[in-house]
Amino acid sequence: MPALLDVVHLLIEKRRQQFALTGSSAREKTLFLKAYAETYLKEEILIEQLIRNLPPLRRFLEISAHQDTELISYSAIARDVLVDPKIISNYYSILEDTLLGFFLEPYHTSLRKRRKTAAKFYWFELGVHRA
């Protein structure tokens, strides 16, 4: 609901309140998800990309959706997107900052083995991932 997002944005700006807004349609209607992806991803993520002065990230979003729940290799994704691995790291940072996903760090009792294993990235909602 755009009107709700306007109120939330105003409260964030004026009162520094924090919100975590999520939502899902039980039926995951295609048109709803497409509209959400076009509106939120286009407006919020691309604006964030422009603020951070990063090259276009459309191809990255497609690849990151395919890599959902898999081990992340910045260099492999960078080769596919044709950018530097540091830019891929920044792209994932944008996804985290806009609450579209999160990293799950590897767990192992051995610190040495834990450092050798890459983290996995999870999109916050399956419908957004699919869209």
How is the chain split into domains, by residue range? 2-130
Looking at residues 3-23, what average pLDDT do you find?
Answer: 83
pLDDT at 25 over 60: no
Distance (Å) of CA 52 to CA 41, 43, 64, 68, 94: 16, 14, 19, 24, 9
**Helix (H, G, I), strand (E, B), or coil: what is residue 45?**
helix
Q: Write out pLDDT tens, residues 69-100.
A: 888 889 999 998 888 999 999 988 888 888 88
pLDDT at 57 over 80: no
- DSSP secondary structure string, 13-37? HHH----------SS--HHHHHHHI
Fold of 2-130: Arc Repressor Mutant, subunit A (1.10.10)
Q: Which pLDDT score is estimated for 86?
A: 92
Band of residue 55 on the pLDDT scale cut at 50, 70, 90: low
